[in-house]
Amino acid sequence: MRGKNFTEEERDAIRILFEQGYTVRRIAKLINRGKSGVQGQIDRMRADGSIKQTVMNLGQFDEQG
C-alpha cells in the first residue's frame, strides 16, 4: 500500500510533466495517484518554490561521438 506522502521520484515526475504542459489529471494517471493529491502536491510545490527546480537529465553528460 502506498503512503499519502509523495516520494522524491514522484515529485520529480510532477515537475517534469507539469513543465511540459501536462494536465493535473494526466499527471495523476501517469504516476498512479489521485487528481486531488497531485493538485495538492503541486500547490505545496508552488508555495515553497520547488515546482520550478530543474531535474537533472542524467543523459546530458553522455559522450558525443
Q: Residue 65's pLDDT is what?
A: 45
At 57, the pLDDT band (50, 70, 90 cuts) reads low
Q: Residue 5's pLDDT is what?
A: 92
Mean pLDDT (the chain, rounded): 85
Residue identified by cell 495538492 is: 40
- Cβ atoms of 37 and 48 within 8 Å: the answer is no
Q: Could you tell me the three cell numbers for 5?
A: 506522502
For residues 20 and 59, the model is more confident at 20
- Reported pTM: 0.78
